[in-house]
């Protein structure tokens, strides 16, 4: 009998006995490791929560070195449990909770690479990684900490996943005034108002015609080993495609997991509420059926063959909206 057949026969015969041992959480077939090096010798691999010295185990709790001429090996894997999308995980993967240290939480969308350096980077929305910044408002700065999971899900400085690398500014339709003349006028008006209404104040705002095409940003991971590119429950991104009317799409997000729908509208211009009292206009978007809940922002939108078509950033109970992925990649100068 060849070695692999001996392993499979022993696995079938002794699986139940091995799984009944204390500390054992799984069994399977693999290659035996010797002093940390994987050999080419097949073995029955026994997965344990903690690898303990034989002296600390009762005789009946020890894994036999041989089972009917089939060698065994013991591999420490910890306690196995379902992985939540809001859990801390390293390496982290797209589809999980992430966020700028000042926000609540959003979704780690994808792993992309810088077109110039080839460096792996974390892709998500501006409003997830850069706190809805227009680049001049102080809401975010290059180098800001990015946490996984996001702060709402318990992320803290101890769960640092990376640093804000760059972002495309978001221009609200109405912005707080910043020019000196407007601020001086605001000060004068407030002095007058306070004479008759002490609890009121005047705020000067600027109406801007500037629109937006994307809501996107990238973060530099603390190291390459901190992230992996496979999207949770969907796998690797195969490439990029243009969104098309009627195209079946799917996303993997922090809040609602895997959801599917179809593209209903292309080349849309939409008005999006950015936060209380603040909105922005976005053009060249596509609209799908409802695939998202709060916290899913930043999810990569893919077709049925795992080609990226968009970046989810907005929606309602009735619909969801995505940036065309080509616009995102071009403006951030990244690629899959």
Q: List, as one string, the DSSP characters of 212-224.
A: BS---EEEEESSG
How far apart, in whole angstroms, are the C-alpha atoms of residue 134 and residue 130? Answer: 9
Return the pLDDT at 3.
75
Tokens 């939540």, residue located: 84
**DSSP 8-state class, residue 91:** S
Label residue 45 exposed, middle or buried (CB < 10 Å: 0-12, 13-18, 19+): buried
Return the pLDDT at 35.
77
Token pair for 161: 């996943």
Return the pLDDT at 204.
47
Same fold: 97-171+213-226 with 239-335: yes
Token pair for 286: 């596509």
Rg of the chain taking only CA atoms, in angstroms: 26
Averaged pLDDT in 10-residue chunks for the chain of 336 residues: 79 86 84 81 85 79 85 80 81 97 97 97 98 95 98 95 98 68 62 67 55 96 97 96 96 97 93 86 94 96 98 93 97 97
Instruction: State pLDDT tens for residues 274-300.
Output: 888 788 999 999 999 999 999 999 999
Return the pLDDT at 56.
82
Specify whether domain 97-171+213-226 bears CATH 2.40.10. Answer: yes
**DSSP 8-state class, residue 306:** S
Token pair for 124: 């998500």
Cα angle at 76 between 72 and 82, to 5 degrees? 120
How far apart, in whole angstroms, are the C-alpha atoms of residue 216 and residue 233? Answer: 23
Token pair for 321: 């909206």
- Which 3 state secondary structure label does DSSP give 144? coil
Q: Where are the domains of the chain?
A: 3-76, 97-171+213-226, 174-207, 239-335
Tokens 């495309």, residue located: 168
Specify whether domain 239-335 bears CATH 2.40.10.10. Answer: yes
Pairing of the two strands 145-147 and 37-48? unpaired
């Amino acid at each position: 009998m060849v070695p692999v057949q001996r392993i499979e026969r022993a696995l079938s015969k002794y699986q139940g006995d091995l799984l009944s041992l204390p500390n054992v959480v799984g069994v399977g077939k693999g290659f035996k490791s010797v002093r940390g090096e994987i050999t080419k010798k097949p073995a029955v691999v026994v997965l344990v929560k903690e690898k303990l010295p034989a002296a600390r185990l009762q005789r009946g709790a020890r894994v036999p070195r041989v089972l009917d001429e089939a060698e065994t090996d013991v591999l420490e894997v910890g306690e196995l449990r379902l992985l939540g999308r809001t859990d801390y995980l390293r390496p982290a993967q797209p589809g999980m909770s992430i966020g700028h240290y000042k926000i609540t939480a959003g979704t780690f969308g994808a792993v992309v690479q810088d077109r110039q350096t080839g460096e792996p980077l974390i892709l998500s929305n501006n409003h997830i990684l850069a706190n809805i910044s227009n680049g001049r408002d102080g809401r975010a700065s290059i180098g800001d900490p990015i946490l996984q999971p996001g702060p709402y899900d318990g992320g803290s400085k101890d769960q640092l996943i990376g640093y804000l690398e760059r972002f495309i500014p978001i221009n609200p339709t109405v912005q707080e005034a910043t020019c000196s003349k407007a601020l001086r006028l605001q000060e004068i008006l407030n002095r007058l108002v306070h004479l008759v209404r002490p609890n009121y104040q005047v705020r000067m705002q600027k109406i801007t015609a500037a629109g937006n095409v994307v809501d996107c940003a990238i973060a530099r991971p603390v190291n390459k080993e901190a992230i992996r590119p496979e999207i949770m429950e969907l796998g690797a991104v195969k490439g990029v495609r243009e969104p098309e009317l009627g195209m079946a799409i799917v996303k993997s997000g922090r809040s609602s997991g895997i959801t599917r729908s179809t593209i209903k509208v292309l080349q849309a211009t939409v008005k999006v509420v950015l936060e209380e009292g603040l909105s922005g206009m976005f053009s060249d978007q596509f609209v799908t059926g409802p695939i998202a809940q709060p916290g899913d922002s930043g999810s990569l939108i893919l077709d049925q063959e795992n080609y990226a078509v968009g970046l989810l950033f907005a929606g309602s109970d009735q619909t969801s909206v995505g940036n065309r992925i080509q616009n995102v990649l071009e403006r951030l100068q990244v690629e899959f």
